[in-house]
A and B are shown apart, each in its own frame.
Chain A
Amino acid sequence: MAGSSTIQLRNSAPPLRATAESPVAKGILVGITLVFLGLFLFLPLVVVFQEAFSKGAGAFLRAFQDPYTHQAIWLTLLVAAIAVPLNTVFGLAAAWSLTRFRFRGRSFLVTLIDLPLWVSPVIGGLVYVLIFGAQGWLGPWLRENDIRIIFAVPGIVLATVFVTFPFVARGLIPLMEAQGIKEEEAALTLGANGWQIFRRVTLPKIKWGLLYGVILCNARAMGEFGAVSVVSGHIRGKTNTMPLQIEILYNEYHFAEAFAVASLLALLALITLFLKTYAEWRAERQLREASL
């Protein structure tokens, strides 16, 4: 499947001269590309940082002294700290069961895992409201027992888990398929049990693919907006994550403050891109070496 949540094997040999475009054509194409990517990608990025510092560095730092912003940052970190490990365990289990064994219904499961990528994040939040919300299936029971899921942290965690669970699995599945199971089988004949095989043979092989998936999962978990927006209730200081806090600040015309918080997430995005590229490169190299 396409998109950057799967690792692709790429070689980077420069092309031969015999079939090249004229320099003019090349220039035009490069120019178009630079304008297109510059306009749609670079500029927005630059805007975030520019606007964050538009009132000076002092105002930038002051933006982070707001207690509500503190709570938002804290909540974002908490949600990611729960959702990412959960989804990592799922990703490992799913990848192991889908690539090491043959069984009927495999491709259906693979499609099911891709579901959150196709569905609007708002729907991702909606389905949990339909179960746990006041008018939902479990609504009355939850109210009786004084358990809050919607408009509280558990709901946010659930919605985030839904939106981000494919990433680790999708990072691992193509990698583990390409690597094959011969080394695991060899370990089996040498007397290793399941856990030993996983820890000593599989894990070292997949560690870069795993890192790749975890990085993407984390980036999405911290940045999720649509799904969380539906379940959170936007209660300041209680159920606001960073993206929601950005929305509140922006709607109240605290532009510099909104961009200050946004710049933090943008910085995270850049770090994510960097780490992801590195992990992808290492994983490709490992794959190439193993097939020598």
Chain B
Amino acid sequence: MSITISNVSKSFSRYPALNGVGVEIQTGELIALLGPSGSGKTTLLRVIAGLEFPDNGGTVSFGDRDVTGLSAYKRRAGFVFQHYALFAHMSVFENIAFAFRVLPRRKRPPESAIRDRVATLLDAVQLTGYEKRLPTQLSGGQRQRVAFARALAIEPEVLLLDEPFGALDARVRKDLRRWLKEFHHRIRLTTIFVTHDQDEAFEVADRVVIIDKGVIQQSGTPNEVRKNPANDFVRDFLDLRQ
């Protein structure tokens, strides 16, 4: 599923978070939205997800479907939150099964099918056997993977990750980065992740979109950006000054 963002602006009580942003993402790409804090990258991700709506004029399209006014639950965009936002009072199983449980009755699969699907998803994130645990009983990395599995349960066409590894320590981060890249290679789902860590962006992503102060500074493959930084900001941010 390709994503097209055109002329998106968003202000929060006079604070301009995004300013006329436009980006095109091809099906199956793994994109990093890279920028310092306050650059607008999370806001852009949330606009794509349908958790924020752009101010008048901007559009968001999935494929050739205009989803700008569509509510989040109609967009089928899987979202993984920065601090996972797992349902604290539900077990791992129930967290992942949630997407099935809220389907309208006629679309809802029978209990046995739900169990199978959850088992498959847990296997994909290597957490088989953790069904009955509560989020408080999991480590940070484990919670992260449950959040992944939960987002994948809706069979999304697009996967959106908000600083997915930000709250983890260095070793776990490295492992999960590798895992994400390999996972994406297997599944080929259009994926966008937000980060402020340039090593992470350059190591994992097919293409990097650099954003600052609500404006896109540059977009290209890691090599392209390193070889030809578009402006001073990019040069400074990536520490490319000679």
A residues contacting B by CB (< 8 A) are: 102, 182-183, 185-193, 196, 200-201, 204-205, 286, 289-290, 292
Contacts of A102 in B (CB 8 A): 13
Contacts of B79 in A (CB 8 A): 185-186, 189
B102 touches which one: A182, A193, A205 (CB < 8 A)? A193
Query: CB distance A189 to B72 under 8 Å?
Result: yes
B49 in contact (CB, < 8 A) = yes
Contacts of B154 in A (CB 8 A): 189-191
Query: CB distance A182 to B151 under 8 Å?
Result: no
Given A182-B83, A205-B89: A187 in contact with B102 (beta carbons within 8 A):
yes
Closest to A193 in B: B73
Interface residue count on the B side (C-beta < 8 Å): 27
The A contact surface, by secondary structure, is helix
The B contact surface, by secondary structure, is loop
Closest to B74 in A: A191
Query: CB distance B51 to A187 under 8 Å?
Result: no
Query: CB distance A188 to B72 under 8 Å?
Result: yes
The answer for the CA separation of A205 and B83 in the assembled complex, in Å, is 17
B residues contacting A by CB (< 8 A) are: 13, 49-51, 71-73, 77-79, 81, 83, 85-89, 98-99, 101-103, 136, 150-151, 153-154
Query: CB distance B98 to A189 under 8 Å?
Result: no
Contacts of B72 in A (CB 8 A): 185, 188-189
CB distance from A104 to the nearest CB of B (A): 9
Seed contacts A189-B72, A200-B102; 4 additional CB < 8 Å A-B pairs: A182-B83, A186-B87, A189-B51, A191-B73
Given A185-B51, A289-B136: A191 in contact with B85 (beta carbons within 8 A):
no
Query: CB distance A192 to B88 under 8 Å?
Result: no
Contacts of B136 in A (CB 8 A): 289, 292
CB distance from A207 to the nearest CB of B (A): 9
CB distance from A41 to the nearest CB of B (A): 37
CB distance from A106 to the nearest CB of B (A): 12
